[in-house]
Amino acid sequence: MLELQNIKKTFHKGRESVVAVDDVSFEIKSGEILGLVGESGCGKSTISRIIMQLLIPDSGSVTLGDVNLTALPRKEIRRHRLDFQMVFQDPYASLNPRQTIFSTIGEALQQRNPGLKGEVLRKRVGELLETVGLPANQMQRYPHEFSGGQRQRIAIARALAPEPRIIIADEPVSALDVSIQSQILNLLRKLQQELGLTMLFISHDLSVVHYLADRIAVMYGGKIIEHGKASQIFHEPKEDYTRKLLSSVPVLAKLAR
Q: What is the CATH number of the domain that holds 47?
A: 3.40.50.300
Where does the pLDDT of residue 208 fall: very low under 50, low under 70, confident under 90, or very high at 90 and above? confident
Query: What is the domain range of residue 237?
Result: 2-256
pLDDT of 244 = 87
Report, as an integer, the average pLDDT of 250-256: 45
Adjacent-strand bridge partners of 84: 166
Query: How would you classify the pairing of strands 67-68 and 2-13?
Result: unpaired
79: confidence class by pLDDT, cuts 50, 70, 90: confident
Lowest mean pLDDT among 3-12, 33-42, 114-123, 176-185: 176-185
Q: What angle do CA 22, 23, 26 make, to 5 degrees?
A: 120
Distance CA 26, CA 5 (A): 7
d(CA 20, CA 28): 21
**pLDDT-derived band at 253, boundaries 50, 70, 90:** very low
Does residue 58 sit in helix, strand or coil? coil
Q: What is the pLDDT confidence band of residue 20, given thresholds at 50, 70 and 90?
A: very high
Per-position DSSP letters for 82-124, written without gaps between them: GGEEEE-S-TTTTS-TTS-HHHHHHHHHHHH-TT--HHHHHHH
pLDDT of residue 254 exceeding 70, the answer is no
Residue pLDDT, tens place only, 148-192: 899 999 999 999 999 999 999 998 888 778 888 888 999 999 999
Are the CB atoms for 198 and 32 separated by under 8 Å? yes
Name the pLDDT band for 247 (thresholds 50, 70, 90).
confident
Q: For residues 125, 128, 130 and 132, what is the CA-based torsion angle, rounded to 10 degrees?
A: -140
CA atoms within 13 A on the CB side of 13: 4
* Predicted confidence (pLDDT) at residue 240 exceeds the cutoff of 70: yes
Number of structural domains (the chain) is 1
| pLDDT at site 201 | 95
pLDDT of 251 strictly over 80: no
Q: Express as a percent the part of the chain with pLDDT over 90.
A: 54
Nearest to 33 by CA among 129, 235, 169: 169
The model's confidence at residue 13, banded by pLDDT at 50, 70 and 90, is confident
The predicted pLDDT at position 175 comes to 74
Averaged pLDDT of the chain: 89
What DSSP element (H or E) covers 187?
helix 178-195
| Least trusted range by pLDDT, from 32-36, 98-102, 180-184 | 180-184
Which among 120, 154, 152, 156 has a CA at the least distance from the CA of 140? 154
Q: Percentage of residues in the chain with pLDDT exceeding 70?
A: 96
* CA–CA separation, 254 and 11 (whole Å): 37
Gap between the terminal Cα atoms of the chain: 29
- Which pLDDT belongs to residue 162? 92
CA distance 116 to 146: 26
Q: Can you give the pLDDT at residue 249? A: 66
